[in-house]
Structure 1
C-alpha cells in the first residue's frame, strides 16, 4: 500500500575551523513537505530555529547559507517550540505506512541530537526514517557512490528550484527525487 511521505531538510550551525563539530551543531532552519503517493504536494512547513549554545552565525555559515540572516535567527523560536509544531505537522497527513525521508542521515541524527539536548521527545519518533541518499545510490544501475542532492538532480536531468541551503527549497527538490529513491524491499534484502 502506498502512503504519504514526509520529506525533511535541515540547515544547521557550522564552521570551517573545527570549532563546531557535528555533535555540537544546532538547527537553524527546518523545511518539510508532505508528498502524496502520486507526487502531489499536500502541505509545507518551514521555520527558523534559534540556537541556544552558539546563537551567532559564523562567517563560514553566512557564506554557506547566504539566504539566512542573523535577524531571522535571532527572532526565531527555540527547538522545543519548533519541534512541537513539527510533531503536529507530521501528524497532519500521516497514514498507515507513512514514513519520513531526508537526503542522508544528517537530518535524522540532528533531530535526535536537538531533542536530546533540549530533553524533549523526538517529534518524529512514530515515523520510520529513510536515508534517500543511500536509496538513490542503491537504485542506480550500475551502482554509484552516494552523492549530494544537486549531483543527484543532475543525474536525473532535473533542475534545482529555489535556493540551495534553504531548508524548504531543498526539501521540495528532494521530494522531486523520490521516484528515483525507492525504499528497499526487506524481503529481497533478507
Structure 2
C-alpha cells in the first residue's frame, strides 16, 4: 500500500516536470509572427518602416506641449522641384496617422476667429459706406442751395447761349478783337481773355432780353487792395525774420469801379533795422525813408483810423484783396508776432486776385506782370514798390469785375 502511494507521487512529479519543460521549450522557440522572409535586396515594406519608427516615438508620458510640437514638426512638408510629390523631413520621425488628424475644436476655433474678423470688416465697411453717403447727401444739399443750382436752365435761352458760346470758341483772335471793337468793348488781352469777355457780354444781353437776372452778386462795397514790402536778403536764411517796411492800401469801389483813395506809409524795422543793399534796390526804399518812419504798430493804427474815416466796417462792407497769400499769411502774421500785437480780425480772410483771375479766364495761376499782359495792360510805376503794386492789382480787379467775376473770400489765415 505504501509502495503504491510512493509510485503515484513519483509519477505526478514526473508529469509536472514534463509539463514545465514543454512550456519552457515553447516559450523559448521563435514565433511565427516574428519569422521574416530572407532579404532579397528589396527595401522593407512601408508597414515595417512605420513599425520600426513607432518604437522611436516619445513615450506616452511626454507632456502635451511636447506631443503638440512633435505634431507641428511632423506636418512640415516641402514640394519637390521636379514633380508634385511631398517629402517628409527625414530628421523628424513621423507619428501615427491618428495623431496627425486635426482636432475639430481647432477647426472651430480658427473658423470662429475668421468669422469674427469678417464680421468686424463688414461692420467697418458698413460704417464707411454710411459716412460716405451722408457726406454725398451733404454735398448735394450744399450744391443745390447755391444760387447757380437754384436757376432754372430749362428756359430755351440757355440753349441759344450754349450754341453762341460754341461759335465764340471757334473764332480767331482777330475775329474776337473786331467783334469786341464793334460792340464798343475792350479789345485788349489774350485770346482766352477775349473769349471770356465776349461770352459774358452775349450772355448778359441774352438774359436781359429773356427777362432773367443778369446781376453778378456784389458781396463787398469796397476792396482794400494791399501789397506790403518787407525786409529781405538776396538769399534769405530759413530763420530770417521779415519785417514790413511799407504798408499801402488802395481803396476800390466795386459799384462805381473806381479807385477812390489810397493810404501809404513806411515802417521802421526793429529786428533788422539796417536794410540790405538788395532790398533797397529791389523796393526803391532807402534807409532814410525807414529811419524816420514810425514802427509798425503806429502805422497800423493810422491805417485803421483812415479806414474808419471811409466808413469801412460801419457804413460800407469791405474785404482785403491781394495778389497772393504771402502778404497776409506770412508778412502781416509774422509782423504781428514781432510787434506783439493782435492780428487784425478783418484780415483773417481775403480775396486772392490771382485765384479769381485763373478761375475766370481758365488759366493757371499767374504773377502780377503776367496777369497784366494777359488783359493787355502795362505795369504802371516802380515794380516791387508797395503802393505801385497795389494800384496795378486794383486795375486787374476792375477788369475782372467788368468781365463778370465775383469777388468773394477764397483764402484765409492758416494756424500758426
Alignment TM-score > 0.5, same fold: yes
Q: Counterpart of 2:383 in 1: which secondary structure?
A: coil
Q: In the alignment, what sits opposite 1:40? A: 258
Report the 3-state secondary structure (helix = DSSP H, G, I; strand = E; otherwise coil) of the residue aligned with 1:88: helix
**Closer, same or farther in 2 for the Cα pair 1:185/1:68, shift >3 Å?**
closer
Instruction: Find the residue that maps to 1:43 and give its secondary structure.
Output: strand
Residue 382 of structure 2 is aligned to residue 158 of structure 1: no
**Counterparts of 1:167 and 1:20, CA distance in 2:** 24
Identify, as 1 or 2, the structure richer in strand.
1
Query: What TM-score results when the alignment is normalised by the length of structure 2?
Result: 0.41
Tell me whether 1:72 sits opposite 2:286 in the alignment.
no
Q: Distance in 1 between matches of 2:336 and 2:406?
A: 28
Which residue of 280, 285, 296 corresponds with 1:62? 280
Give per-residue Cα distances to partners, 1:15-42, cap 9 Å, x unaligned.
12233756x1111111111111122122
Alignment partners' CA distance in 1, 2:369 and 2:233 = 22
Larger radius of gyration: 2
SS in 2 for 1:126: helix
Residues 1:134 and 2:355 aligned together: yes
Which runs of 5 or more residues in structure 1 are unaligned? none
Asked whether the equivalents of residues 7 and 35 of structure 1 are also in contact (C-alpha less than 8 Å), the reply is yes
Q: Residues 77 and 183 of structure 1: is their aligned pair in 2 closer, same or farther, counting only changes over 3 Å?
A: same
Measured in 1, the distance between the counterparts of 2:409 and 2:227 equals 24
Correspondences of 1:39-188 after superposition (within 5 Å): 39-65=257-283, 67-91=284-308, 92-94=310-312, 95-109=315-329, 110-123=331-344, 125-126=345-346, 128-141=349-362, 143-144=363-364, 146-178=365-397, 179-180=399-400, 182-183=406-407
In the TM superposition, residue 170 of structure 1 has moved relative to its aligned partner by 1.0
Paired positions, count: 181
Q: TM-score, normalised by structure 1?
A: 0.85
Structure 2 regions of 5+ residues with no counterpart?
Answer: 1-217, 411-416
Which protein has greater RCO, CA pairs closer than 8 Å, 6+ apart? 1
**1:135: Cα distance to partner?**
1.9
